[in-house]
Amino acid sequence: MNKEAFPKENLIFRTVVTFAAIVLTAALRIVPHPWNLAPVGAMALFSGAMVRDRRLTFVFPLLALFAGDVFIGFHKLMPVVYSSFLLSVLIGRWLQNRRTLIRVGGATLLGAIQFFTVTNFGVWALGSFYPRTLGGLAACYAAGIPFFWNTLAGDALYVTLLFGGYALAERFIPALRAPSRCAST
């Protein structure tokens, strides 16, 4: 195999494996699960960290979300939810080439916090459950706390599976390693 072809083939293989993981994770979203204990936040972080093409980094998770929503159903807060997951993709982009346990853990926590903050604000601002007062906003956030723990637990579980599984696969499948790491093999 010539040296110039290997990195390009490597990148294609990495991209296919990454997209397969994202599709699998998105499919798990439609399987019955407790509220917010879903793989979507982890999928967005993983996409941001692993997909090199900026457009695909954002488009692919949105398509996966949309495909899941075809089965789950649509609602008026979808633009808020989708925007929040785009923020998680941005957080994941911060992890590119810097995937350490501490950084991935911090990104997971940050992703769960921003999802809680953004989506509960959306519920308060666009819904009719809470008065549009500071007290109503506080009540909305307080009511969302149990869901936050599920979000954090789901993100932690699926981040562990996605990032941990990929790191394990990199150890055993040289073609998954970043091109700079493959050059020495």
Per-residue pLDDT of the chain (185 residues; tens, 9 = 90+): 444 455 677 777 878 888 888 888 888 887 777 787 888 899 999 999 988 888 888 998 888 888 888 888 888 899 999 999 999 999 999 998 888 999 999 999 999 999 999 999 999 999 999 999 999 999 999 999 999 999 999 999 999 999 999 899 888 888 787 655 444 33
Q: What is the pTM of this model?
A: 0.84
What proportions of the chain, in percent to the nearest 5, are helix, strand and coil?
Answer: 80, 0, 20
The residue ranges of every structural domain in the chain are 5-182
**End-to-end CA separation in angstroms for the chain:** 13
How far apart are the C-alpha atoms of 108 and 160, rounded to whole Å? Answer: 10
- Number of Cβ within a 10 Å radius of residue 106: 14
